[in-house]
């Protein structure tokens, strides 16, 4: 069997750099070496790209010590990488595991498109929408997917119409609310606000991270239920999991620092409710155009039993103890098999794309397309 060469891209310039490194370590360890040659490509915190073999398990090395240099996309070679100016070997498929800005928001996916490299996960548009809490809500709400009420605005609008915006938060949403930058992850810049007087500070904080802010009504005593998606044109939903955060909500500390948040799989839920949540996850995935993988997060009001879709994550955490692979494991697909499937999906999509007409002159010459 001919081995495929797989580039795993990880790290990145976002606050989730370390999470991405952990994901890559698990993925690299689980990729079947009988099938794949693995090239680990790290983006360091300053945005420099290079091969970093320390991910294979040798003693930790600083991110700045990445070897080699990387340059731009090269479709003629189906390649991405050059070390010291030499063209690198062509690659069969890329697994982008960079979370957050530049990794999960469509930027990296756009670069891979330009290099005509097959890659795992959603394309440019679904990635961008998956990352943007406002646009995501707009699209999902238009299709009737339940979500919380919200108010959104841009930096200059907050400056010009602050008292009007505060009034609409008070009258439309009430308190408490969650104030979030539109385009970020890992709970960075997010605050829970209980009274009007604290709104300004929370908005100022959120505006440090993005020029657009969303303020959401808080789901009371929310249970956090998550569902993994896998597939191409047809998406499948895993069993559901529940996060029991160690803090008051699932903030950065609860996610990454104190490590005491609990994952409960399967989530203890009535069968009918679980089925509704899973089909809602699949529907949302189709509406957003998710491809390959995604984790869909819900908030469940445990008194009323009503749920809302909180967000879709197109590059979910991928360590061996992360929710995304754990949910598939509980649904009968182990970690290595999951990677095989994701790679196959990436290759299928790219093979299909290769047949698309890109240059309209081709249709003009053959007399069609007029
Ligand atoms: N509207 C809400 N009601 C209740 N809890 C919320 C709400 N929005 C966010 N949270 C809490 O904040 C956490 C982080 O918010 P989320 O929108 O998922 O941001 P991120 O993209 O950074 O993960 C959630 O996991 C949940 O604990
Ligand atoms: Mg979240």
Q: Above 60 in pLDDT, residue 61?
A: no
- 256 DSSP assignment: I
Of these ranges, 119-128, 158-167, 246-255, 356-365, the one predicted with the greatest mean pLDDT is: 119-128
pLDDT band at 80 (very low <50, low <70, confident <90, very high): low
If you average pLDDT over residues 278-285, what whole number do you get?
98
In the CATH hierarchy, which fold is given to the domain comprising 149-217? Dna Ligase; domain 1 (3.30.1490)
Q: Above 50 in pLDDT, residue 252?
A: yes
| 180 within 8 A of 190, measured Cβ to Cβ | yes
- Residue 240 β-bridge partners: 227
- Contacts of residue 169, defined as CB under 8 A and 6 or more positions apart, other chains included, come to 151, 177, 196, 199, 215
pLDDT score at 109: 96
Of all protein residues, the one whose alpha carbon is nearest to atom 2 of ligand 1 is 218
Q: List the 222-231 sheet strands across, edge first.
A: 262-264, 235-244, 222-231, 292-301, 307-313
Given CATH 3.30.470.20, say whether it is the number of domain 222-352. Answer: yes
Q: Above 50 in pLDDT, residue 324?
A: yes
Q: Which residue of 210, 249, 261, 313 sits with most ligand 1 atoms within 8 Å of its CB, as the best mutation to test the pocket?
A: 249
pLDDT score at 368: 56
pLDDT band at 303 (very low <50, low <70, confident <90, very high): confident
Q: Above 60 in pLDDT, residue 68?
A: no
Please indicate whether residue 88 or residue 270 has the higher confidence score (pLDDT).
270
pLDDT score at 86: 56
3-class state of residue 138 by DSSP: helix
Closest atom of ligand 1 relative to the 222 alpha carbon: 4
Choices 3.40.50.1470, 3.40.605.10, 2.30.42.10, 3.40.50.20: CATH for 4-119? 3.40.50.20
Integer Cα distance of 183 and 109 in angstroms: 16
State in Å: Cα 188 to ligand 2 middle.
10
Closest atom of ligand 1 relative to the 219 alpha carbon: 3
Of these ranges, 79-93, 161-175, 204-218, the one predicted with the greatest mean pLDDT is: 204-218
The tokens describing 41, both together, are: 């490509």
pLDDT score at 160: 79
pLDDT score at 63: 43
pTM of the predicted model, to two decimals?
A: 0.91
Whether 4-119 and 149-217 share one fold: the answer is no
């Amino acid at each position: 069997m001919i081995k495929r060469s797989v580039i795993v891209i990880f790290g990145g310039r976002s606050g989730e750099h370390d999470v991405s490194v952990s994901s890559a370590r698990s993925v690299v360890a689980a990729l079947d070496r009988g099938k794949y040659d693995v090239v680990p490509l790290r983006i360091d915190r300053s945005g420099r790209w290079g091969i970093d073999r320390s991910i294979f398990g040798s003693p930790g090395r600083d991110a700045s010590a990445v070897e080699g240099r990387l340059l731009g996309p090269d479709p003629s070679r189906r390649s991405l990488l050059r070390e010291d100016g030499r063209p690198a070997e062509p690659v069969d498929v890329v697994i982008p595991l960079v979370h957050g800005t530049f990794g999960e928001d469509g930027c990296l996916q756009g670069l891979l498109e330009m290099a005509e490299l097959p890659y795992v996960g959603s394309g440019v548009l679904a990635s961008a929408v998956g990352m943007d809490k406002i646009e995501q809500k707009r699209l999902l709400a238009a299709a009737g997917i339940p979500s919380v009420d919200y108010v959104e605005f841009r930096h200059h609008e907050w400056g010009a119409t602050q008292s009007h915006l505060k009034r609409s938060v008070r009258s439309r949403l009430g308190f408490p609310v969650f104030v979030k930058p539109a385009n970020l992850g890992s709970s960075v810049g997010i605050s829970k606000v209980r009274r009007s007087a604290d709104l300004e500070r929370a908005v100022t904080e959120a505006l440090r991270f993005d020029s657009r802010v969303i303020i959401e009504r808080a789901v009371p005593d929310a249970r956090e239920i998550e569902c993994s998606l896998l597939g191409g044109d047809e998406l499948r939903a895993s069993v559901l999991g529940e996060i029991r955060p160690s803090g008051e909500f699932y903030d950065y500390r609860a996610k990454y620092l104190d490590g005491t948040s609990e994952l409960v799989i399967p989530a203890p839920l009535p069968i009918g409710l679980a089925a509704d949540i899973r089909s809602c996850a699949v529907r949302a995935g189709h509406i957003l155009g998710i491809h390959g993988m995604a984790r869909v997060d819900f908030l469940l009001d445990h008194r009323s039993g009503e749920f809302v879709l909180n967000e879709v994550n197109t590059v979910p955490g991928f360590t061996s103890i992360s929710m995304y692979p754990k949910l598939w494991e509980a649904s009968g697909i182990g970690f290595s098999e999951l990677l095989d499937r994701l790679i196959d999906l990436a290759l299928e999509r790219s093979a299909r794309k290769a047949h698309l007409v890109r240059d309209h002159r081709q249709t003009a010459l053959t007399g069609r397309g007029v």
